[in-house]
Structure 1
Amino acid sequence: MSTTERTRALRRRMIVEARRATVEHGLHGYTIEQLCETVGVSRRTFFNHFASKEDVVLGIELHADVEAFERYAAGGIVSSDLDPLGSIVALAIDQFHRVGIDRADEALVRQVFEREPALVAKFLSATDVQLARVTDAVRHRFGWGDPDDRRARLVTEAAAGLLKVTADTFFADADSPAFDALLTDNLRLLRAAITTGQDTTP
């Protein structure tokens, strides 16, 4: 196992254990020290990867997005054939897979949000916090260098709206499809609504 794989596995263990502890005890019912003891890491190691207890529960890793945005801006991570909106959706799906929002622990994530509803708002607001950086990455990827060019922000805001509606549905409906499938379908519906006003699925 490579160093990168070991680091990813360690982060994953911290995230899963934090979610389990939150479901069992509530966010304020355990300490970071207790979490570190369970996982077998030091407090210093914890803060090398996560800024807070809330962030580890949500899978928000320190500096992880910086590299991803740089690679995306340079034309990487997702297919170069995708249009701007499609590329942001593909990037979001890639990032959600990386942090662990998928069917494998969907029930655990739902239980976390049921136990700590305030975390839903933090999860949704994470998109807003990243908005400026995503906009810059889109601007660089598609060569929209003029600061007065509004296209990058318009596309990013549209993607943020897609993510919010998708997250609202995903976490509210236990029978909803997987997050990436739901997001992809919402992108299709948005395109159909804008171009024809109708869902053209046979």
Structure 2
Amino acid sequence: MSTAERTRTLRRRMIVAARRATVTQGLGGFTIEQLCESVGVSRRTFFNHFASKEDVVLGIELHADTELLQAFAAGDVVPSTLDPLSAIVALAVEQVRAMEFDRSEEVLVRTVLDREPALLARFLSATDVQLARVTDAVRTRFGWTAPDDARARLVSESAAALLRVTADHYFDDAFDETTSPPFDELLTTNLRLLRAAITTGQDDTP
């Protein structure tokens, strides 16, 4: 196992343990020290990966995708031939795979937010920050650096909407994983439908 894989595994262990503790005890029912003890890590190790107890519960990792976004901005990670919207969608697929986020974990997150609804504001704030970082990376990758150039934000906001619609479908309780496509295929299909809807008003793909 590589260092990066070990790091991802450790982070996942801390996140899952924190979420389970929140469901059973509430956010105020355990301390960071108790969480660290249950996972077998030091307090210092914890703060190398997360800024707070709230962030570990929400899975907001410190600098988790900094290198990925830097590489994307430099023209790497996804094929350089992709148009801006396709490039962001491909980047999102890479991020989802790195997060190893599945439907069972989404149920756990919903349970956490039901138990601690105040965490939703922190989650939405982190989402806005992440979207701004992606927008900056898009701006750099495609050279849209003029202060009044809105293209990077327009494309990244469109990709965010596409992801939300796809996630709503994928994580719906009625979604059948045994007969339905995986998340990345569903996202790619929705990208095609979006393009068709914008350009022709219908899906012309054979």
Place the TM-score, normalised by the shorter chain, in its bin. Answer: 0.7 to 0.9
The answer on whether the counterparts of 1:127 and 1:160 sit within 8 Å (CA) in structure 2 is no
User: Aligned partners of 2:2 and 2:199: how far apart in 1?
Assistant: 47
SS at match of 2:193: helix
Alignment of 1:23-42 (within 5 A): 23-42=23-42
Do the aligned partners of 1:139 and 1:145 also contact (CA within 8 Å) in 2? yes
1:49 aligns with 2:49: yes
Q: For 1:43-82, what aligned pairs fall within 5 Å after superposition?
A: 43-82=43-82
- Percent identity of the aligned residues? 73
**CA displacement 1:104-129 (0-9 Å, x = unmatched):** 63443343344334445544443321
Corresponding residue for 2:12? 12
d(CA) in 1 for partners of 2:196, 2:115: 37
- Shifted more, 156-165 versus 11-20: the winner is 156-165
Matches within 5 A, 1:7-156: 7-103=7-103, 105-156=105-156
Report the TM-score, using the length of structure 2 for normalisation.
Answer: 0.83
- TM superposition shift of 1:50: 0.5
The answer (yes or no) to whether the contact 1:135–1:153 under 8 Å persists in 2 is yes
Deviation of 1:156 after TM superposition, in Å, equals 1.2
Which runs of no fewer than 5 residues in structure 2 stay unpaired?
none
Deviation digits for residues 109-158 of structure 1 (CA, Å, limit 9, x no counterpart): 34334433444554444332123322221122122233332211211121
Which residue type is aligned with residue 156 of structure 2?
A: T
CA distance in 2, matches of 1:170, 1:26: 27
Query: Structure 2 vs 1, CA of residues 118 and 159 (structure 1 numbering), >3 Å: closer, same or farther?
Result: farther
Shift of the 138–193 alpha-carbon distance from structure 1 to 2, 3 Å rule, reads same
Q: Distance in 2 between matches of 1:113 and 1:97?
A: 23
C-alpha RMSD of the superposition? 2.5
Distance in 2 of aligned mates of 1:111 and 1:2: 32
The unaligned stretches of length 5 or more in structure 1 are none
Query: 1:49-89 CA distances to partner (integer Å, 9 max, x unpaired)?
Result: 00122221222210122212101101122222321111112
SS in 2 for 1:144: coil
User: What is the rounded CA distance, in whole Å, between the counterparts of 1:138 and 1:74 in structure 2?
Assistant: 10
180, 192, 203: which one pairs with 1:199? 203
Q: Which amino acid aligns with 1:191?
A: R
Alpha-carbon distance change, 113 to 96 in structure 1, aligned in 2, over 3 angstroms: farther
The letter of the residue matching 2:138 is: V
Relative to structure 1, the CA distance from residue 118 to residue 190 in structure 2 (aligned partners, 3 Å threshold; closer, same or farther) is: farther
